[in-house]
């Protein structure tokens, strides 16, 4: 900001004598404390304050001039970078929007002090005095390590114990006797800063034009939102990198949100190819120590680019100039436990508080974003063709009513043939089914018994790889028995329907010589193994990939030329208003994995409904028409983004109590309307409607029964105010009862 020379000099802010301190726990109120004489405090400062009988960390949220004689005193100020005003504003706003206690949202921003603090100091050991008087063999080995390392060797305790093959106790003993001493290790150096001029990528004309528009916005110091809509393989990443370069040149920081950051080693390499170094990563797979280091580098402004999961939205950026939300349509951006929020929407809000440019990138934008772009609320930049003149895959349906596979098999003859051709040509094929495990249902042929989870209203899914039955809602695992637990019949259990493991089994039988890989989030080996496997596919080391939605997320497999969809109808029948949109996005992304390299690709879609609007849109490529129809349907129903929705989910261990409570909440809602069961606002105020309560489609999860109320409001109405009024007028949730608020729910399970 530039100072106005005509304005009188600002008076120095008076030293506050009372501060309101927000504590990162599930409480909404900021508590007042007296400021001790001589302590200078400003909003955003970290402080230690007394709370009940203990001392706790908090953040000064507000400062006032007077009073406070009978208040408790702030104990001390903590010398950490303060929580800046834009982040405080964001925390307040997000808490109000999601109806969450402010302290709970603050907790997401300051995490535990382990991140919030300056990074923890690590200690090492070095030789300080003469050899110990009593030299045991273990002690001798420790001394040997130092003798072998010339000069001033400093080793961490763990490294030393490992090298000497001794217990930590042996080392402690040597420290006590003065032979070794403990010294602080210097902090790890920060990685080199990304260099906007390091790049080697030449953009094609369409990319260059799009990049110029994004870069222009990233260089401005003002809040903007732009949708970067580009077909799969159009080079959206290369294009938005130019916006990152512009932010770097302007000296501002960038946050790139990725839906599956832990799996995207490829992305980090591409970033390094353009900017000479990898970005800082932020997700739960990064060690606490490295995150602590990143936290302080981000707060000081030394770290310029962060690639992270949705939790990185709460990082303490010193000067955030650009936020990119890659694959902005991804359902993985919705967080449902604790505070329910959608990271894409929150990224837009954070951008507003920071006066930053926001770029939403997708080949299949969410309807909300699409509408915002069409109405001019967001900018709209498009890439309508693939990079380097490569064509989009040729799509065809396999009508399962006519061309079904033989009984007990799932891959139709036409698809088998296509896989054979692809593999014979030295290319890769993808078989996609969005269902983990071997079979979604196991039943007894003799008595009809179905295996269900005791804690959830859901079937147990067989995972043959692990030899177990598993509940996908609570994670409960049990061994598959050899006989039916109800009638005792032996060898009568049958697997019904396919999961990816079963498709892999079939493919292995059909193509015994092909190299095969199952890619699913629940295979043994975890994230690291998945990362390696995705890289192996990208390097062409696998012929047939069988995968779940995990493979749909932005990966680049240059040698993959065939995508086969085993069951395109999976997600269409779940009664969710977003079912069509979600299925379209998912299938478009999966088919978009084919033909991204030099060889053209094709996709075969197995479906019982080739005339369904989703299939028509995919097969004809008439995406505009699909969006049109979907948008009109939403508009007519007053659904988002034309109206606003919130769900109140009542849960508890006693079904009757849950239902009674949900009914009472509904009555409270109707009471506010003065008798009209639907309209919550009297007169000509906007109409707010309440639906339910109804038992949730998944009636029980983790032993808790669930009922839902739905509140629907026009855009102009105060939805949050209405929800607060309902909660205040309804009975208190006691015992095991809980009411969760989900503003803009993404699914209705
Ligand atoms: P999208 O994210 O739009 O699906 P990508 O950014 O993954 O597309 O790009 C697809 C492929 O094309 C990648 O291998 C990428 O490296 C390559 N590519 C895109 N643009 C360029 C370019 N200008 N120069 C070189 N390679 C490019
Ligand atoms: Zn369960």
Query: H helices within 407-551, ranges in order?
Result: 413-424, 500-510, 526-538
Spatial separation of the C-alpha atoms in residues 743 and 316, rounded to whole Å: 25
Spatial separation of the C-alpha atoms in residues 226 and 367, rounded to whole Å: 15
Would the ipTM clear 0.85, i.e. be above it? yes
Binding residues: 444, 447, 453, 456, 471, 474, 484, 487
Does 559 sit in the ligand 1 pocket, CB within 6 Å? no
Which of the residues in the chain have pLDDT under 50? 1-6, 118, 674-680, 682-684
How much distance in Å is there from the Cα of 574 to the middle of ligand 2? 19
Domain 18-111 listed as CATH 3.40.1440.60: yes
How much distance in Å is there from the Cα of 210 to the middle of ligand 1? 14
How much distance in Å is there from the Cα of 237 to the middle of ligand 1? 7
Spatial separation of the C-alpha atoms in residues 110 and 99, rounded to whole Å: 19
Q: What is the DSSP letter of 469?
A: E
Hey, do 205-383 and 394-440+497-635 end up sharing a CATH topology, with the first three levels equal? Answer: yes
Does 741 sit in the ligand 1 pocket, CB within 6 Å? no
The residue nearest atom 21 of ligand 1, judged by CA position, is: 235
Does 264 sit in the ligand 1 pocket, CB within 6 Å? no
* Residue 569, CA atoms < 13 Å, CB-side half-sphere: 13
Asked if residues 240 and 359 have their Cβ atoms less than 8 Å apart, the reply is yes
Spatial separation of the C-alpha atoms in residues 398 and 416, rounded to whole Å: 12
Residue for token pair 């593999």: 423
pLDDT of the residue at 114: 57
Does 319 sit in the ligand 1 pocket, CB within 6 Å? no
How much distance in Å is there from the Cα of 586 to the middle of ligand 2? 26
- DSSP track, 65-85: SS--TTSPBP-EEE-S----H
Sheet holding 643-652, edge to edge: 689-701, 704-714, 643-652, 738-743
pLDDT of the residue at 713: 86
The residue nearest atom 25 of ligand 1, judged by CA position, is: 201
Spatial separation of the C-alpha atoms in residues 272 and 59, rounded to whole Å: 37
How many Cβ atoms sit within 10 Å of the Cβ of residue 549? 22
Does 237 sit in the ligand 1 pocket, CB within 6 Å? yes
Element at 364 (helix H, strand E): none
pLDDT of the residue at 678: 47
Asked if residues 39 and 74 have their Cβ atoms less than 8 Å apart, the reply is yes
Sheet holding 320-326, edge to edge: 280-282, 305-308, 253-257, 320-326, 357-362, 224-230, 379-383
Superfamily of domain 643-743 in CATH is Ribosomal protein S10 (3.30.70.600)
How much distance in Å is there from the Cα of 492 to the middle of ligand 1? 52
Helix (H, G, I), strand (E, B) or coil at 715: coil
**Where in the chain are the domains?**
18-111, 123-184, 205-383, 394-440+497-635, 643-743
Q: Which ligand is nearest to the CA of 474?
A: 2
Helix (H, G, I), strand (E, B) or coil at 450: strand
Assigned fold of 205-383: Rossmann fold (3.40.50)
- From 362, 387, 552, the mutation candidate for ligand 1 (largest count of ligand atoms within 8 A of CB) is 387
Does 203 sit in the ligand 1 pocket, CB within 6 Å? yes
Q: Which ligand is nearest to the CA of 469?
A: 2
How much distance in Å is there from the Cα of 361 to the middle of ligand 1? 14
Spatial separation of the C-alpha atoms in residues 143 and 123, rounded to whole Å: 19
- Six token digits for residue 585: 């996005």
pLDDT in tens, 500-558: 999 999 999 999 999 999 998 887 777 888 888 888 999 999 999 999 988 887 788 99
Spatial separation of the C-alpha atoms in residues 49 and 53, rounded to whole Å: 11
Does 201 sit in the ligand 1 pocket, CB within 6 Å? yes
Residue for token pair 């800046």: 84
Q: What is the pLDDT of the chain when averaged over all its residues?
A: 88
Helix (H, G, I), strand (E, B) or coil at 126: strand
How much distance in Å is there from the Cα of 598 to the middle of ligand 1? 12
What is the pTM assigned to this prediction? 0.87
pLDDT of the residue at 250: 95
Spatial separation of the C-alpha atoms in residues 727 and 733, rounded to whole Å: 10
In this structure, CATH architecture of domain 394-440+497-635: 3-Layer(aba) Sandwich (3.40)
Does 596 sit in the ligand 1 pocket, CB within 6 Å? yes
Does 597 sit in the ligand 1 pocket, CB within 6 Å? no
The β-bridge partners of 742 are: 647
Among 511, 513, 547, residue whose Cα is nearest residue 416 = 511
Spatial separation of the C-alpha atoms in residues 436 and 468, rounded to whole Å: 13
- Six token digits for residue 709: 């109320």
């Amino acid at each position: 900001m530039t100072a106005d020379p005509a304005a009188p000099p600002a008076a120095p802010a008076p030293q506050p004598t009372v501060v309101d301190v927000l504590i990162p726990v599930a409480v909404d109120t900021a508590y007042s404390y007296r400021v001790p004489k001589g302590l200078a405090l400003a909003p955003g400062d970290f402080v230690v304050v007394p709370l009940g009988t203990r001392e706790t960390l908090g953040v000064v949220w507000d400062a006032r001039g007077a009073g406070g004689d009978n208040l408790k005193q702030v104990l001390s100020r903590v010398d950490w970078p303060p929580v800046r005003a834009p982040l405080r504003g964001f925390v307040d706003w997000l808490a109000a929007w999601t109806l969450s206690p402010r302290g709970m949202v603050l907790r997401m921003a300051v995490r535990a002090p382990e991140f919030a603090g300056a990074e923890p100091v690590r200690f090492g050991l070095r030789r300080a005095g003469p050899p110990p008087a009593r030299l045991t063999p273990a002690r001798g080995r420790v001394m040997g390590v130092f003798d072998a390392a010339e000069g001033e060797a400093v080793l961490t305790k763990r490294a030393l114990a490992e090298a000497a093959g001794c217990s930590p106790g042996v080392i402690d003993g040597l420290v006590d006797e003065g032979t070794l001493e403990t010294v602080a290790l210097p902090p790890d150096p920060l990685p080199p800063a990304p260099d906007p001029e390091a790049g080697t990528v030449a953009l094609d004309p369409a990319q260059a034009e799009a990049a110029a528009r994004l870069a222009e916005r990233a260089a401005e110091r003002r809040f903007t939102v732009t949708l970067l809509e580009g077909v799969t393989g159009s080079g959206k990443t290369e294009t938005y990198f130019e916006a990152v370069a512009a932010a770097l040149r302007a000296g501002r920081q960038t946050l790139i949100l990725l839906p599956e950051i832990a799996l995207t080693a490829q992305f980090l390499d591409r970033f390094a190819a353009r900017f000479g170094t990898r970005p800082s990563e932020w997700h739960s797979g990064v060690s606490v120590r490295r995150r602590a280091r990143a936290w302080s580098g981000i707060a000081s402004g030394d770290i310029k680019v962060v690639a992270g999961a949705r939790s990185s939205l709460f990082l303490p950026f010193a000067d955030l100039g650009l936020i990119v939300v890659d694959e902005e349509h991804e359902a993985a951006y919705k967080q449902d436990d604790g505070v329910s929020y959608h990271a894409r929407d929150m990224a837009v809000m954070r951008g507003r508080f920071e006066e930053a440019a926001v770029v939403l990138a997708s080949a299949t934008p969410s309807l909300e974003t699409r509408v915002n772009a069409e109405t001019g609320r967001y900018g709209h930049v498009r890439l309508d063709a693939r990079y380097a003149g490569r064509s989009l895959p040729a799509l065809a349906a396999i009508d399962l009513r006519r061309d079904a596979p033989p009984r007990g098999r799932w891959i139709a003859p036409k698809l088998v043939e296509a896989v054979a051709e692809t593999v014979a040509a030295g290319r890769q094929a993808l078989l996609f089914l969005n269902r983990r495990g071997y079979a979604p249902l196991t039943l007894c042929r003799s008595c009809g018994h179905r295996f269900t989870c005791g804690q959830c209203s859901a079937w147990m899914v067989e995972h043959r790889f692990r030899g177990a039955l598993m509940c996908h809602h609570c994670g409960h695992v049990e061994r598959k028995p050899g006989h039916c637990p109800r009638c005792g019949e032996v060898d009568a259990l049958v697997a019904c329907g396919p999961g990816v493991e079963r498709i892999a089994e079939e493919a292995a039988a059909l193509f015994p010589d092909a190299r095969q890989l199952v890619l699913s989030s629940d295979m043994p080996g975890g994230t690291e193994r998945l990362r390696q496997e995705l890289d192996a596919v990208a390097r062409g080391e696998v012929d047939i990939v069988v995968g779940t939605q995990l493979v749909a997320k932005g990966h680049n497999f240059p040698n993959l030329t065939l995508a086969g969809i085993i069951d395109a109808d999976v997600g269409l029948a779940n009664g969710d208003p977003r079912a069509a949109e979600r299925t379209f996005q998912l299938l478009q992304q999966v088919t978009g994995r084919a033909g991204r390299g030099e060889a053209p690709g094709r996709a075969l879609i197995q479906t019982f409904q080739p005339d369904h609007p989703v299939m028509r849109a995919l097969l004809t490529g008439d995406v505009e028409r699909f969006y049109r129809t979907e948008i009109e349907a939403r508009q007519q129903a007053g659904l988002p983004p034309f109206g606003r929705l919130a769900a109140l989910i009542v849960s508890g261990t006693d079904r009757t109590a849950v239902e009674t409570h949900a009914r009472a909440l509904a009555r409270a809602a109707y009471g506010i309307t003065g008798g009209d069961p639907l309209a919550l606002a009297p007169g000509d105020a906007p109409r707010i409607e309440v639906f339910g309560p109804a038992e949730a489609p998944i009636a029980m999860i983790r032993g808790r029964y669930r009922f839902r109320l739905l509140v629907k409001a026009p855009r102009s109405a105060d939805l949050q105010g209405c929800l607060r009024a309902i909660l205040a007028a309804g009975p208190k949730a006691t015992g095991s009862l809980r009411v969760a608020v989900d503003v803009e729910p993404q699914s209705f399970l």
